[in-house]
Amino acid sequence: MKITIELDDEEVRVLKKRAKKNILELKEQVEDIIRRSCINAMKKTSVVDSGCDDKLVGLFSRQGRGKKKE
């Protein structure tokens, strides 16, 4: 599957630096980030409870957790 995303120069620079640190190519680093994100999202059971119609948005959205601010 092929997916196209647009990143600005600063984002690409940060990703390249992170890839170099992990001894990966830029493409491999991006794939690794997405793979890890999907694995972590599958562990969460609150995706169904999020009330979101779009499963992808619910899958990649951060959930408000922890102690509520007063």
Domain residue limits, the chain: 9-60
Report the pLDDT value the prediction gives residue 46, as an integer from 0 to 100. Answer: 53
47 CB-near residues (< 8 Å, 6+ apart) = 41, 55, 58, 59
Pull the structure tokens for residue 9: 């120069």
Report the pLDDT value the prediction gives residue 47, as an integer from 0 to 100. Answer: 46
The low-confidence residues of the chain, meaning pLDDT below 50, are 47-48
Q: Where are the alpha helices (DSSP H) in the chain?
A: 9-21, 26-43, 46-49, 55-60
Which among 35, 33, 58, 30 is positioned nearest to 46, based on CA atoms?
A: 58
